[in-house]
Amino acid sequence: MKRLFYFGIVGLILFEFLKVYFIMPMPGSQRLNSIDFAYFLHQYRWVFRVAFAILVLVGTRPALSTSRRWLPIGSFVLALTLGLVFNFKMAADAMFKEPKNLGFMDRESFEQSDSTLVVVVERRGEAKAYPIRYIVYHHQVRDTLAGEPIMVTYCSVCRTGRVFSPFIDGEPERFRLVGMDHFNAMFEDSETGSWWQQATGEAITGVLKGQKLDEIESIQLTAGAFFRAYPDGKIMAADPEFMSKYDSLGKFEKGKSESELTGTNPFSWNEKSWVVGVVLDGKAKAYDWNALRQDGAIRDRLGEKELLVLLHPDTQSFAAFELPIGTSEFRWTGDTLYVDSAGYAFTGKSLDAVHPDLMRVQAYQEFWHSWRTFRPNSAIYPDEPEK
């Protein structure tokens, strides 16, 4: 009977470890296709806990009947301590919290550098920007834009910024950061407990597996470029409660993070190299960031559409556009984009009411390992990556 006590203790420790191991960035864990097993452990966590606890209770008296009582007592304390650590210290939503005080600044009150990188969303004339140095910690910021809820997300391990409409089957939903899968942040909805992939907005396991959140178009700009494009726009302010958690020097956004998980490789087509990923008419393509920096603008074809990927002179802001049919030439001056005879701002807004705005295509800056994982059939530019 004494063995049941130790079997229960070992079982509890192993279970709590595995429950965390498969959904956190531990050695080897994020390269496994184990999400369904991880979800199984999570869903039936109390079944496992109760079963192992019963074994511990049944074997407690025999285990304490020996002269070395310190051994079962120490084992129990160890199991309890590790259980608390795994569930309250190593839980994703315990390490990375949503902002408690969400505030915004206009051009006059903004005191950070104009080179600060932001994820920008605009709807019906209202524009808001979310500094990457803040949202890499929060992972999720819930806000409203033009009176409608939005969910701004960021995963620093993939360098993926995504904005979603937080509605499932027409009903607003709450999400919590639950962990990651294949190095990408993962959220759990409060209604069904399904797990949602941040890079795609898709439920990858659970009752709603296969469903997708509606994505809201966003663009990455520097704060300076944001205010030039949207003079009345607002930028998210730092939450005073999390000042010590923020990347105040902006190392990550500049590609200077020293972390193995979030650091950047400056060369092309390595795991941590940057690409600009584009999806148009169901087709995906990755553009080498170094090639874009060298050329400033890339004209390309994706499927049946002509595409223009543009880099701002600040070398951080970028945008992609679908070129009108019959476009013969374009010219990017670093301030104005000319498509044949029509002039446009960097965001695609027409400078002449005679011409409609350019159709902007959703584009993302992302680590190459992330883009190829979640877009395995993606084409690449240039066609033959340098080795």
Query: What is the arithmetic mean of pLDDT over 342-352?
Result: 94
Query: Is the separation of the CB atoms in 274 and 255 below 8 Å?
Result: yes
E-strand spans in 264-341?
274-280, 283-288, 297-302, 305-311, 318-322, 330-332, 337-339
Rounded to whole angstroms, the Cα distance separating 125 from 321 reads: 20
Q: Is the pLDDT assigned to residue 132 strictly greater than 70? A: yes
Q: Helix, strand or coil for residue 244?
A: helix
Q: Is the pLDDT assigned to residue 238 strictly greater than 70? A: yes
Q: Is the pLDDT assigned to residue 318 strictly greater than 60? A: yes
Percentage, residues of the chain above pLDDT 70: 99
Amino acid identity for residue 356 in this structure: P
Q: Helix, strand or coil for residue 85?
A: helix
Query: What is the arithmetic mean of pLDDT over 234-250?
Result: 96
Q: Which of 352, 313, 310, 315 has its CA nearest to residue 330?
A: 310
Average pLDDT, the chain: 95
Per-residue pLDDT band for 387 (boundaries 50, 70, 90) equals very low
What does R_g of the chain's alpha carbons equal in angstroms? Answer: 24
Per-residue pLDDT band for 286 (boundaries 50, 70, 90) equals very high
**Residue 317, pLDDT score:** 96
Q: Is the pLDDT assigned to residue 350 strictly greater than 90? A: yes
Q: Side by side, which strands form the sheet with 283-288?
A: 363-367, 274-280, 283-288, 379-381
2-55 pLDDT, tens per residue?
899 999 999 999 999 999 999 999 999 999 999 999 999 999 999 999 999 999
Rounded to whole angstroms, the Cα distance separating 24 from 229 reads: 39
Query: Is the separation of the CB atoms in 199 and 154 below 8 Å?
Result: no
Query: Is the separation of the CB atoms in 308 and 299 below 8 Å?
Result: yes
DSSP codes joined into one string, 295-309: HSEEEEEETTEEEEE
How many Cβ atoms are within 10 Å of 192's Cβ, its own excluded?
15
Q: Which of 45-49, 88-92, 216-220 has the lowest mean pLDDT?
A: 88-92
Q: Is the pLDDT assigned to residue 66 strictly greater than 90? A: no
Q: Which of 59-63, 96-100, 171-175, 241-245 has the lowest mean pLDDT?
A: 59-63
Query: Is the separation of the CB atoms in 336 and 358 below 8 Å?
Result: no
Secondary structure in 3-state letters for 30-79: HHCCCHHHHHHHHHCHHHHHHHHHHHHHHHHHHHHCCCCCHHHHHHHHHH
How many Cβ atoms are within 10 Å of 62's Cβ, its own excluded?
14
> When comparing pLDDT for 180 and 69, which is higher?
180
Q: Is the pLDDT assigned to residue 384 strictly greater than 70? A: no
Q: Kindly state the DSSP code that residue 243 receives in the 8-state scheme.
A: G
Residue indicated by tokens 């639950």: 178
Rounded to whole angstroms, the Cα distance separating 186 from 202 reads: 10
> When comparing pLDDT for 334 and 95, which is higher?
95
CA distances from 267 to 270, 368, 375 (A): 7, 11, 21
Query: How is residue 137 written in tokens?
Result: 């910690």
Query: What is the arithmetic mean of pLDDT over 173-191?
Result: 97
Q: Is the pLDDT assigned to residue 331 strictly greater than 90? A: yes
Helix axes of 70-84 and 45-64: crossing angle, nearest 10 degrees: 160
Counted residue by residue, the chain has a size of 387
Q: Is the pLDDT assigned to residue 386 strictly greater than 90? A: no
The string over 292-303, giving b where at least 16 C-beta atoms fall within 10 Å of a residue's C-beta and e elsewhere, is: beeeeebebebe
Percentage, residues of the chain above pLDDT 90: 91
The torsion angles phi and psi of 305, rounded to 5 degrees, stand at: -110, 145
Per-residue pLDDT band for 377 (boundaries 50, 70, 90) equals very high
Check the CA dihedral 133-263-218-97 and report its sign: negative
Query: How is residue 9 written in tokens?
Result: 């203790």
**Residue 67, pLDDT score:** 78
CB neighbour list of residue 181: distance below 8 Å, 6 or more residues apart = 23, 30, 35, 38, 195, 197, 204
Half-sphere exposure of 77 (CA within 13 A, CB side): 6
For residues 371, 138, 363, 284, the Cα torsion angle rounded to the nearest 10 degrees is 30
**Residue 267, pLDDT score:** 96
Residue indicated by tokens 């992972």: 139
Rounded to whole angstroms, the Cα distance separating 263 from 259 reads: 5
Q: Which of 212, 209, 230 has its CA nearest to residue 221?
A: 230
